[in-house]
């Protein structure tokens, strides 16, 4: 009698192909989920709002460089111009929603360009890190040709990742960088919000500002919001700790990710501009504004 049918005999092991099939069936659902996340990540990371050039232009903001080749909005100071600041905004809305930068910086003699991303506002183009950073490089080069030095970059949240990467590639054209509510690496932030997600495997866009700014050698100011739950302050603090000099950390007391602008005053902006534009010997110390 065959051993396989003897009483008490162990059942034969599954053939290798059957075992592999069972393994793949067991893995199919989570793998499909990860694949879906990988394909749909643009919908989790980018929230563009479409608008016409006419919708975005105001008496204080004109199309830059012009309506037919729109790349953003520009605000000019009333008096002499000390510098030009190119601003890269967060992941939602469009550049026209960020006129508060012009209100803060134009009185300090800083020309403000609110850069618009491909796929946002009236601009055609593809969403994503590669597209945004390449476009930012083009905007930096154009602003430098049009207005000369010094040129500052400002990035908020997602825009901090864009500004850091573009600044590294256009290092010789950038005088200083201000990063507001930034992260150090997008994979770290994704793991914080989705601890079950193998972020290193599925994220196509990395926005690794630590790597981008390694050896940058220009002044970088990192501003974190004390009560930020979207990009907790520790991620910006980790970025600041990775930087070489000159660097500065500014903690905005009581502020969250989206309301930080209401927690800083004109003196804060003046200090930030002074740090970014001052001779290197003066670019020291961290700042924390008083609570309002």
| CATH number of the domain to which 171 belongs | 3.40.50.1820
At residue 6 the predicted structure's pLDDT band, cuts being 50, 70 and 90, is: very low
Whether 10 shows a pLDDT value over 90: the answer reads no
Whether 142 shows a pLDDT value over 60: the answer reads yes
- Alpha-helix runs per DSSP H in 148-265: 158-169, 186-193, 199-202, 209-212, 233-242
140 and 220 within one domain: yes
Whether 5 shows a pLDDT value over 50: the answer reads no
* Residue 8, domain member (yes or no): no
Cα→Cα distances 259→26, 70, 173, 187, Å: 45, 28, 31, 24
26 and 169 within one domain: no
C-beta atoms surrounding 56 within 10 Å: 22
97 and 35 within one domain: no
* Residue 290, domain member (yes or no): no
C-beta atoms surrounding 121 within 10 Å: 25
30 and 120 within one domain: no
Percent of the chain beyond pLDDT 70? 79
* Range from 52-66, 157-171, 188-202 carrying the lowest mean pLDDT: 188-202
* Residue 223, domain member (yes or no): yes
At residue 204 the predicted structure's pLDDT band, cuts being 50, 70 and 90, is: confident
- Output the six-digit token pair for 247: 């660097």
72 and 210 within one domain: yes
59 and 34 within one domain: no
At residue 16 the predicted structure's pLDDT band, cuts being 50, 70 and 90, is: low
Q: What is the pLDDT of residue 279?
A: 77
265 and 214 within one domain: yes
At residue 45 the predicted structure's pLDDT band, cuts being 50, 70 and 90, is: confident
C-beta atoms surrounding 283 within 10 Å: 20
Whether 12 shows a pLDDT value over 50: the answer reads no
* Residue 289, domain member (yes or no): no
185 and 92 within one domain: yes
Task: Determine if the pTM surpasses 0.75.
Answer: yes
Please count the structural domains in the chain.
2
DSSP assignment string, 65-89: S-STT--EEEE--SS---EEEEEE-
Helical pair 233-242 and 186-193, crossing angle rounded to 10 deg:
160
pLDDT tens digits, 66-94: 999 999 999 999 999 999 999 999 999 99
Domain enclosing residue 124, as ranges = 48-282
At residue 8 the predicted structure's pLDDT band, cuts being 50, 70 and 90, is: very low
* Residue 3, domain member (yes or no): no
Q: How many Å apart are CA 163 and CA 44, to the nearest integer? A: 20
142 and 76 within one domain: yes
- Are the C-beta atoms of residues 148 and 173 closer than 8 Å to each other? no
* Residue 133, domain member (yes or no): yes
Mean pLDDT of all residues belonging to the chain: 86
Burial class (CB in 10 A: 0-12, 13-18, 19+), 143: buried
136 and 267 within one domain: yes
Q: What is the pLDDT of residue 29?
A: 40
Q: What is the pLDDT of residue 195?
A: 84
């Amino acid at each position: 009698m065959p051993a396989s049918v003897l009483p008490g005999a162990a059942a034969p092991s599954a053939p290798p192909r059957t075992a592999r099939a069972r393994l793949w069936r067991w893995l199919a659902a989570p793998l499909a989920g990860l694949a879906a996340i990988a394909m749909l990540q643009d919908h989790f990371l980018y929230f563009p709002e479409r608008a016409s050039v006419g919708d975005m232009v105001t008496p204080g903001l004109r199309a830059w460089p012009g309506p037919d080749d729109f790349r953003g909005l520009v605000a000019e100071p009333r008096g002499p111009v000390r510098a030009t600041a190119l601003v890269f905004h967060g992941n939602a809305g469009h550049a026209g929603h960020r006129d508060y930068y012009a209100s803060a910086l134009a009185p300090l003699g800083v020309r403000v360009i609110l850069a618009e991303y491909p796929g946002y506002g009236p601009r055609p183009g593809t969403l994503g890190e590669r597209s945004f950073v390449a476009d930012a490089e083009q905007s930096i080069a154009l602003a430098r040709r049009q207005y000369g030095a010094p040129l500052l970059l400002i990035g908020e949240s997602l825009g901090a990742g864009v500004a850091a990467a573009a600044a590294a590639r256009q290092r010789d054209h950038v005088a200083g960088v201000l990063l507001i509510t930034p992260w150090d690496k997008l994979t770290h932030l994704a793991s914080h919000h989705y601890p079950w997600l193998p972020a290193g495997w599925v994220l196509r866009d990395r926005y690794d500002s630590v790597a981008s700014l390694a050896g940058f050698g220009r002044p970088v100011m990192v501003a974190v919001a004390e009560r930020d739950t979207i990009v907790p302050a520790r991620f910006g603090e980790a970025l600041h700790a990775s930087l070489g000099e000159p660097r500065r950390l500014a903690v905005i007391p009581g502020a969250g990710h989206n309301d930080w602008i209401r927690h800083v005053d004109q003196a804060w902006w003046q200090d930030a501009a002074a740090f970014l534009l001052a001779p290197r010997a003066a670019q020291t110390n961290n700042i924390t504004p008083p609570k309002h």
